[in-house]
């Protein structure tokens, strides 16, 4: 388990609420599913898990709706 700092929250088109975090030790950015959308059919969107990236895809960076202070 590593220490992370909250960057912001956003909602994906499927309705899932995600939080973006930066890992303190490595400065790596992570996207966690905070709440799964009621109509979401994505198997990879599981509450309290990171969103997996497809091989060769650009980093997934949803625009933040709210910024952490």
pLDDT in tens, 13-68: 999 999 999 999 898 888 889 999 999 998 888 888 888 654 444 454 555 555 55
Return the pLDDT at 52. 61
pLDDT in the model for residue 55: 42
| CA torsion angle 27 22 40 46 (round to 10) | 80
Radius of gyration of the chain (CA): 12
Cα–Cα distance, 1 to 23 (Å, whole number): 10
Q: Please, are residues 67 and 53 in contact by the beta-carbon 8 Å criterion?
A: no
What is the predicted pLDDT for the residue at 56?
43
- Could you say which DSSP state residue 50 is in? B
Q: Given this model, what pLDDT does residue 54 score?
A: 44
DSSP 8-state symbol, 65: S
**Which of the four pLDDT bands, split at 50, 70 and 90, describes residue 2?**
confident
């Amino acid at each position: 388990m590593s220490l992370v700092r909250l960057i912001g929250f956003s909602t994906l088109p499927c309705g899932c609420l995600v939080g973006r975090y930066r890992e303190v030790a490595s400065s790596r950015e992570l996207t966690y599913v905070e709440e799964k959308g009621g109509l979401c059919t994505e198997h990879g969107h599981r509450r309290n898990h990171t969103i997996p990236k497809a091989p060769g895809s650009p980093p997934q960076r949803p625009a933040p709706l709210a910024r952490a202070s």
